[in-house]
Amino acid sequence: MSEAIRTAVLLVAGTGSRLRPLTNNLPKALVPLGDESVLLRIVRQLRHHGISRFLFATGYCEEALRAAVAPLEIESEFCRNDDYASTQNSVSLGKCAEAIRGESFVKLDGDLVVRDDVLDKLFADREPMSVAVDTSRKLDAEAMKVQIDDNGFICDFGKGLPIVNAQAESIGIEKLDAQSGSLVLSRIRSLMSQGTTDKYYEDVYADLIREGLLHPKAVDVAGAAWSEIDTLEDLRLAKALVAGESVA
């Protein structure tokens, strides 16, 4: 990947139902970690890595997200998934296709809290598509698992991937050059036009990998602290991470 990336796509459409009552009137990306929310923390970190354009895939409580972003004085665009409650995250990503305009981009799940070294490792990789994975996490049925070949490239993705075949968990951040991104977005838009809205974006990656069209590099961030926030316990761990405590 030779071109500099200036665009980030953040998936922040979901309801965060497992964090209620904190998310009764607030998207989980705006849940506070301390002095700042999940969303404002990752925006700040991405700006340090040269990201100047932010696309927010929205749905639930979009107005709260707009209000939170407005004071930041950043180049931003909101791409709404009206069917956020009944579709998978590939649809939210697909809704950003027009706004991406064929550029390279970094895509992040909006419930992710990472230390800076996670982003350092991902942005340092120069492959056309790079995926942050953690080989140190214990895998379970809910983990978004990846299978990695001997050369460090991902050969399969999916929650349904047998644990015995998987070497790592995908943490929810990928960097795609213009060609890789266009392939993914074109496939998602094609699926949407056919009425297929129940696929994770990782399922789309897996299909393209099996067809020999996508060759993502696994960037191992084992040892670098990160947490996705689905539950109140996840939030506790994320707050500990931000406070500089060790996170088990």
Ramachandran region, residue 47 (left: φ > 0; alpha: ψ -120 to 50; beta: rest): alpha
The structural domain count of the chain equals: 1
Assigned domain for 88 exists: yes
Name which of 186-200, 206-220, 231-245 the model is least confident about: 231-245
Give pLDDT tens digits for 32-77.
888 889 999 999 999 999 999 999 999 999 999 999 999 998 999 9
Instruction: Give 163's DSSP letter.
Output: G
Across 20-24, 79-83, 148-152, 173-177, least confident range: 20-24
Tell me what pLDDT residue 1 has. 45
- Domain residues for the domain of 89 are 7-128+172-199+225-242
Residue 247 lies in a domain: no
pTM of the model: 0.90
d(CA 113, CA 109): 9
pLDDT at 107 over 90: yes
> Is residue 36 in a domain?
yes
| Angle (nearest 5°) at CA 115 between 33 and 28 | 35
Q: Specify the CATH number for the domain of residue 96.
A: 3.90.550.10
Q: Taking Cα atoms as reference points, which of 48, 47, 96, 94 lies closest to residue 73? A: 47
pLDDT value at residue 248: 47
- Is residue 29 included in any domain, yes or no? yes
Q: Is the pLDDT of residue 104 over 80?
A: yes
Neighbouring CB atoms inside 10 A of 219's CB total: 21
Higher pLDDT: 187 or 84? It is 187
